[in-house]
Amino acid sequence: MAAAGLMEIYLQMAYDAVAVGPYDLAAGVEFLKNGRFKNFPWVSANLMDKNHNLLFPAAKIIERGALKIGILGLTGQIAGTSPETIVADWRKVLPEHLERLTEECRLVIVLSSLSGEDNAELTRQFPQVHVLIAADRQQGNIVPRFEYSTLVTQTMSQGKYLGVLNLDWIAGSSWGKDQEQEPGAASGKEPSHLRSNFTGNFIPLSKSLPDDRQIAMRIEEIKQQIYTHNQRSTASGEQKNATASPAFSGLSGSDRCQECHPLQTSFWKSTRHAGAYATLQRQQQNFNLDCLPCHITTSAAEQAGTSSMESLLTLPAALQSVGCEACHGPGLTHADSPDKVKPQGKVKEKTCTACHTKERDPAFNYLEKILKVSCPAG
């Protein structure tokens, strides 16, 4: 089972605490709580059962020398949770847990998969949180910075960087609201003997770095399990009525575009967008729902992460590429009535960055890249 393989890797990495995030519940709460993984250090102060009982410890207290550190988890909103699972409003549950932690601990850290807006609100309302480590998939790396009295940072997902945050924390001190927004800076308002300092950096994990052989083998096994499972689901007809999915609403496919726009379609076929799905096929990742949405044509980029994702496994062959409609929007009505309905002309930056996110493509430059895929006039 793929989820079991991931948990085995987590155990090998020997975390002190891990906040339960939206993707961690894919195999269900019982999987995380029972069996050989039941002692894994999950924390969440707002993930509850239907009776409003915590499903995991709200926080964990660890000791580093004489310093007690409280690490509290907050879970962001999860699409498609069962009625048995509730993601409570963090604003209502956090004060009680913080009060307990601040009494016992001299350093309080929050691990949060909340949205960027919620994290900003948290730092405004709860200055007793000394460090907030975020997990906003849209943000990428966040260089350690101060938001009010809280030091905020995060490392982008997908394992492209190792985030390192070193704290020289002095109990009884604080970062200070007027502290400079640079790693290593200290508060200019407090006496020097009460200053707490930090350094933070991100180490790129390039492909040239040697892998841990045991973990690398397990990851390949997991990828193959996912591929085989989704392939079998598709072959057995478990995914039905794919074309009725909202992901394909109003789409015609690039072949239909070619009927009236042969020059533009010919150019498109020369771009990497046209071969995006073939890239997944070569790597046996065309049944990987984490990769698939950005290598095909759908009617909405926000399909990623929703319950309708599984319908992408049976998408029509005409949509197995990043086609014309991925940039210009659904074109079926335009193809049927070209004089009455016009497609989107200029491709907006947000259309591109739906897939070319900071975490997937940190060097992406819209103004440079749009020139490479802009269709010729005529």
- Its sign, for the CA torsion 25, 27, 32, 37, is negative
Of 362, 340, 342, nearest to 353 by C-alpha is 362
Share of the chain above pLDDT 90, in %: 40
Higher pLDDT, 132 or 222: 132
Mean pLDDT of 324-328: 90
Mean pLDDT of all residues belonging to the chain: 83
Give mean pLDDT, residues 135-146: 88
How confident is the model at residue 378, as a pLDDT?
66
pLDDT in tens, 252-294: 889 899 999 999 999 999 999 999 999 998 888 888 877 888 9
* pLDDT interval class at 300 (50, 70, 90): low
pLDDT 10s digits, 327-361: 988 888 998 988 888 888 788 898 898 899 877 78
**Confidence (pLDDT) at 362:** 80
pLDDT band for position 128 (cuts 50, 70, 90): very high
189 vs 274, higher pLDDT: 274
Quick one: how many helices (H) and strands (E) in the chain? 12, 12
What pLDDT score does 174 carry?
67
pLDDT at 20 (0 to 100): 94
- Residues above pLDDT 70, as percent of the chain: 86
Taken in order of first residue, the domains within the chain and their CATH numbers are: 2-204 (3.60.21.10), 213-373 (no CATH)
Confidence of residue 236 (pLDDT cuts 50, 70, 90): low
- How many whole angstroms separate alpha carbon 330 and alpha carbon 199? 48
- Is the per-residue pLDDT at 2 higher than 50? yes
Say whether pLDDT at 17 is over 90: yes
**What integer pLDDT is reported at residue 88 of this predicted model?**
94
Q: What is the pTM of this model?
A: 0.69
Predicted confidence (pLDDT) at residue 175 exceeds the cutoff of 70: no
Say which range, 40-49, 97-106, 235-244, 353-362, has the weakest mean pLDDT: 235-244
Give the DSSP letter of residue 54.
B
Q: Please state, as a whole number, how many other Cβ atoms lie within 10 Å of the Cβ of residue 336.
A: 11
pLDDT for 66-121, tens place per residue? 899 999 999 998 876 677 889 999 999 999 999 999 999 999 999 999 999 999 99
Measured in whole angstroms, the distance separating CA 172 from the mean position of its chain's CA atoms is: 35
Backbone angles phi, psi at 139, to 5 degrees: -95, -25
pLDDT at 73: 98
Please give the pLDDT value at position 80. 62
CA nearest neighbour of 374 among 332, 327, 325, 318: 327
Asked if the model's pLDDT at residue 368 lies above 70, the reply is: yes
Burial class from Cβ neighbours inside 10 Å (0-12, 13-18, 19+) for residue 148 reads: middle
* Placement of tokens 């057995």 in the chain: 236
The answer to whether residue 363 scores a pLDDT higher than 80 is: yes
Tokens matching residue 108: 């309080």
Tokens of 95: 């004060």
